[in-house]
Amino acid sequence: MPEPAGGRILVVDDEEIVREVLQDLLRRAGHQVETVASAEDALEALAQRSFHLVLLDFMLPGIGGFEALSRIREVNPSQLVIIVTAFASIENAVQAMRLGAYDYLTKPFKNEEVLLIVRNALRQRLLEEENLSLRRALLERHRFDRIIGKSKPMQEIYRLVEQVAPSRTTVLIQGESGTGKELIAQAMHHMSGRSDQPFITVNSGSMPPDLLESNLFGHVRGAFTGAVQDKKGLFEVAENGSIFFDEISTLNPEVQAKLLRVIQEKEFIPVGAVASVKVETRIIAATNIDLMELVQRGTFREDLYYRLNVISVRLPPLRERKEDIPLLTGHFLDKYSTENNKRVERISEQAMQVLLNHSWPGNVRELENVIERAVVLSTGPLVDTDLLPAALLGDAVEGPPLFVPPDGGSLYQAIERYERELILATLRRTQGVQKRAAELLKVKPTTLNEKIRRLKIQYRA
């Protein structure tokens, strides 16, 4: 570990000669030193500016050592304090260390001993600051790292998530499929005090009801056929962390009842057990349908709905925040260019207009798939309309049917074959007029001509 640079040190001692000796010694070692004669003056100095380290005499007039240490630690729990004491009060110094002091020095002290303890204390402070910096960097990276958007609706969501994340309150995230509900849940977890604890995702619609109940709450040995030993459920695995229910609307009534008990009582009973298990886990739920409509139909518990819907986060569909499409597109171009070891750097104006005109029923997930496909198919740095799916280009051209050979085949050869057949089909429709074919395919005539030459397409009327 690197040696700490000179630190800001406050010396608190009622003996002037001690203050002068320590000030001279520490300044010669490269530290910035201030001295005061009482705990009262020390508290005032600490209130006005920060110090890396405090050397605090234990026997002070007025406010004594224990009370001074207590007040310093109350104002700043991370403040490093070294107690300076006489041999007769070492027992008190040890007690002060139990109360949060970093170390102690005994009078009369040796200069080498002072410098060593100060160096170790500053090294400890540097390590704590580095750890804090790393934690902050990790938190910043997880805040909204995969949630892209500068539109007003997204800015409002960012503010709401930052406000709600530190609480223990249950949260209901509502939005269409593909809007990023799980990403919001992850951001909420990483911005909370639970960030170093588990984040568990439960897709309740992908499991049979009895298996889901066992996975969530665990079971005891012999609870059912195949239960040969006790098993912890996901709620216990997520203890002190967060559990995210994706598409919570699919929960069956029995699991809904148990989940309600977890929220209300902070406990549940494993399958086959008689004793309850206490649990402290934050619940975040998501749905792409109106839960209140299910409540009115009688398929979702009303009391559970209100317990879940304490804080509601509604994610807008992509069609309501189209100003984010260029930003999202750039993000996905960078992502999939890196993954595929390519340099696809930009998208043409015509292709971007196609993206802006599309309604995006699959939301951000659909856009991501479109850009990933374009990057994979690209042969240069530009994404033009020829790399976009036909569904986005309208029904101008009906492409040839797709099929998978029985024994498989090369993806890139299949793509070239499809591209050749599509261009040929379009030329047949336009009777060989390339300009009109380019218009139907939403590409520039020069782009179409280059592809015809590259793919060695020969059209005969």
Tell me the CA end-to-end span of the chain in Å, nearest whole number. 77
Judged by phi (left if over 0) then psi (alpha if -120 to 50, else beta), residue 298 lies in: left
Res 88: pLDDT: 53
**What residue ranges do the domains of the chain occupy?**
8-138, 145-316, 395-461
Q: What are phi and psi of 114, to 5 degrees?
A: -60, -50
Kindly indicate whether the domain formed by 145-316 is annotated with CATH number 1.20.1440.230.
no
Q: What number of residues does the chain have?
A: 461
List 243's β-bridge partners, or say none: 200, 283
Res 434: pLDDT: 87
List, run by run, the mean pLDDT of 10-residue segments along the chain (461 residues).
71 92 92 92 89 90 84 83 76 74 85 90 78 52 66 90 91 93 92 90 77 82 73 87 92 90 89 84 93 93 94 94 91 91 87 88 93 92 88 56 59 79 80 83 88 82 56
d(CA 173, CA 288): 9
Strand, helix or coil at 253?
Answer: helix
Res 398: pLDDT: 44
Is the C-alpha dihedral spanning 192, 198, 203, 207 positive or negative?
negative
Res 5: pLDDT: 65
> Domain 395-461's class?
mainly alpha
Res 131: pLDDT: 59
Res 396: pLDDT: 38
Nearest C-alpha neighbor of 174 from the set 94, 290, 96: 290
CA atoms within a 13 Å half-sphere pointing along the CA-CB vector of 27? 10
State the CB neighbour count (10 A cutoff) for residue 272.
15
DSSP state, residue 345: -
The DSSP line for 368-381 is: HHHHHHHHHH-SSS
Q: What is the CATH number of domain 8-138?
A: 3.40.50.2300
Nearest C-alpha neighbor of 433 from the set 453, 459, 411: 459
Res 385: pLDDT: 87
Same CATH fold, 395-461 and 145-316? no
